[in-house]
């Protein structure tokens, strides 16, 4: 397994997609050899002076994750997602810039990408390999952006506990991020509630429910059925501004996110009940009566 590059930058930067490609070598995608880091540092775009762009807290997190979850890599997602989000305090506009995540994956922690996403050998594909989109792909596939966005969409105000639940189900976060399903906070919390209740478990159930929710949303406005509390943008700005003086996130206890109001419980309860009814008739493959 590869290690971190010989040269790891001290600060985050922006790395364009065109600049990424020369470093996605066969040796890297096979998890055999990583780039040295020096040449990559020559093609990045610097970010403005800001304490948020320090690399050390991110390196520390991924190293702890690789040690703690060495026996079960997939469990690292639920642990790392809230801590990455609380460490790398971004606006949504900043987080939508793929160049930032390209840099994290390729310059800062390519060893983590390989550790987490190097495929297991199978009869059809005996060669272990990392999919290129884990380094520079869309939000539902890229190694680090998928975790940050999952934490952003599933946190309940400052509470990251729902993020742990959501990120414990790979099918849910992939389906949600790919389809933009939960840019409505009560919907996100209702999905977590269904997971906690054991009503939705495997990938087929998640996919079937998401299809039903999207179809129903075409005729039913969820904001009316389950209104959300208005968000105060100053609280997020204050939280971001405090990044330079914030303590490192805890390894055993969940951090706290922006001091925003939680989702109204009445709205979560209403959508949970509605989605439960939808799920009973959702087209889930393998369910009796569904091909």
How does pLDDT run across 214-272, given as a tens digit for each residue?
A: 777 766 678 888 999 888 899 999 999 999 999 999 999 999 999 999 999 999 999 99
pLDDT tens, residue by residue, 38-72: 999 999 999 999 999 999 999 999 999 999 999 99
Q: Where are the alpha helices (DSSP H) in 118-232?
A: 133-136, 145-154, 161-167, 170-179, 185-196, 203-217, 222-225
CB count within 10 Å of CB 187 equals: 25
Which neighbouring-strand residues pair with 14? 45
The rounded distance, in Å, linking the Cα atoms of 53 and 235 is: 20
Question: Does residue 290 have a pLDDT over 60?
Answer: no
pLDDT, mean of residues 84-101: 97
Degrees to nearest 5, angle at CA 84 with 89 and 29: 125
pLDDT at 199: 82
- Which stretches does DSSP call E strand in the chain? 13-14, 45-46
Place of tokens 């989605």: 275
Q: How many CA atoms lie within 13 A of 148 on its CB side?
A: 26
The rounded distance, in Å, linking the Cα atoms of 202 and 192 is: 13
pLDDT at 216: 75
At 180, the pLDDT band (50, 70, 90 cuts) reads low
At 173, the pLDDT band (50, 70, 90 cuts) reads confident
Question: Does residue 160 have a pLDDT over 90?
Answer: yes
pLDDT at 178: 79
Mean pLDDT over each residue of the chain, to the nearest integer: 91
pTM over 0.85: yes
Specify whether the CB–CB gap between 137 and 177 falls below 8 A: no
pLDDT, mean of residues 118-133: 89
The rounded distance, in Å, linking the Cα atoms of 219 and 197 is: 27
């Amino acid at each position: 397994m590869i290690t971190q590059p010989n040269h790891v930058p001290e600060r985050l930067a922006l790395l364009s997609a065109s600049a990424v490609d020369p470093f996605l070598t066969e040796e890297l995608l096979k998890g055999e050899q990583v780039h040295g880091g020096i040449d990559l540092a020559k093609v990045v775009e610097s970010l403005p002076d800001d304490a948020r762009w320090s690399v050390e807290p991110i390196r520390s997190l991924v190293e702890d994750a690789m040690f703690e979850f060495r026996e079960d890599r997939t469990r690292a997602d639920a642990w790392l997602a809230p801590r990455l989000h609380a460490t790398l305090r971004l606006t949504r506009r900043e987080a939508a810039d793929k160049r930032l995540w390209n840099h994290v994956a390729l310059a800062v922690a390519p060893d983590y990408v390989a550790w987490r996403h190097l495929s297991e050998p199978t009869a059809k594909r005996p060669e272990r390999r990392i999919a290129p989109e884990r380094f520079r792909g869309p939000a539902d596939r890229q190694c680090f952006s998928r975790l940050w966005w999952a934490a952003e969409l599933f946190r309940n105000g400052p509470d990251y506990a729902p993020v742990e639940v959501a990120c414990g189900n790979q099918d849910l976060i992939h389906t949600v991020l790919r389809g933009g399903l939960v840019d409505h906070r009560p919907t996100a919390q209702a999905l977590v509630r269904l997971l906690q209740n054991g009503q939705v478990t495997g990938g087929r159930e998640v996919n079937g429910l998401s299809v039903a929710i999207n179809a129903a949303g075409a005729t039913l406005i969820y904001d009316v059925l389950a209104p959300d509390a208005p968000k105060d943008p100053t609280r997020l700005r204050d939280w971001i501004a405090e990044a330079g003086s914030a303590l490192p996130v805890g390894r055993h206890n969940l951090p706290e996110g922006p001091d925003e109001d939680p989702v109204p419980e009445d709205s979560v309860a209403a959508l949970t009940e509605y989605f439960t009814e939808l799920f009973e008739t959702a087209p889930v493959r393998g369910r009796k009566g569904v091909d």
